[in-house]
Amino acid sequence: MIKPIGADELKPLFVYDTDEHAALTKEAEGLPSVVISSAAAGNAVMMGGGYFTPLTGYMNVADAMGCAENMKTTDGKFFPVPVLNLVEDASEVQGAARIALRDPNVDGNPVIAIQTVEAIEEVSDAQMATMTDKVYRTDDMEHPGVAAFNSVGRFAISGPIQVLNFSYFITDFPDTFRTAVEIRNEISEHGWNKVVAFQTRNPMHLAHEELCHMAMERLGCDGLVIHMLLGKLKPGDIPADVRDAAIRKMVEVYFPPNSAMVTGYGFDMLYAGPREAVLHAYFRQNMGATHFIIGRDHAGVGDYYGAFDAQTIFDDEVPAGAMEIEMFMADHTAWSKKLNKVVMMREVDDHEKDDFVLLSGTKVREMLGNGEAPPKEFSRPEVAKILIDYYSNL
């Protein structure tokens, strides 16, 4: 199986030993604590599950700046984005050697991790501006990722962590949430050697389904991991449980047995376009995928990124040899009225726009909200029914 990045084996930061877990839980009761941001909690979940191997905790400012500017920490480790624990007020934990990190997304703010504090640094306006510009390629506060990153505080608490739980993901999505460790184990159990991963934060329409079939066939893959984001999205996005139901139904009906896994991970969407595409590829290698589908405007939002920026970054900016996982670079896929099948649009040069079945997100939501299924050339009827039921109850 493909190796994790920067390590011979995964390094999950979740404390699996029951005695050690109990001792740390007891220790946390007497430690100074801070309620961390949703983004930091998501990072803890990802580190806990081994997705961010070989990171051992939250970065200091120098490492975060290095990752923002050239995708490398000060000691040369490759990582495509800063992983920070930023808080508004660090006075309650100032001077403490170890602190309890409390989850903002669960009632009562239970302890999600214990952190050994190596430094508490105030991030300057210039440093925040640089990280924002490099990661998001814009400083527009209308960009949801920019707004989130710049709203959580300026005090960076760095140091290794020991993760005690996986937040709400394991309770709200018990059938879907998986750590990188678990996905690697399942891939081995399936006997898959070549595995392609597909990222989604939306239900999968027919074009997405066919793109996965296309990638599997062309790459000669024996397995597909549909890996959906379960964390916080922007307003208007379809909730994770609805997406989960729709995707599972699609796989059940339209994929052969033992060919596709439906899984999810706990993380808040950055909407960082190209940089987030690299991050997505990074942790897909760590979970055992050999290939990863990068589509048009991958992880983008609005008009902040060019249609293929998330593909060209792998050739233009990612350090050579940083990752082993290979990219399947995809164009927009849509139903061709001429060929009566889903095609990759760049591969049919004899087509005009009107030769494709294309519906805007707004139009699809309007149809579903009116109880009307999109055409079968756009969405499977079984998937459409689940979405219609969701919209009818809004």
Active site members: 201-202
Q: CA angle, 202 as apex, 199 and 206 as ends, to 5°?
A: 90
CA-CA distance, 100 to 80, in Å (whole number)?
Answer: 27
Three-state SS string over 60-121 comes to: CHHHHHHHHHHCECCCCCECCCCCCCEECCCCCCCCCCEEEEECCCCCCCCEEEEEECCEEE
What per-residue string of b and e applies to 69-100 under the rule 16 or more CB within 10 Å gives b?
eebbbeeebbbbbbbbbbbeebeebeebebbb
Q: Which amino acid is at 126?
A: A
Please, which residues bridge with residue 233 across strands? none
Comparing C-alpha atoms, which of 261, 247, 242, 263 is closest to residue 380?
A: 247
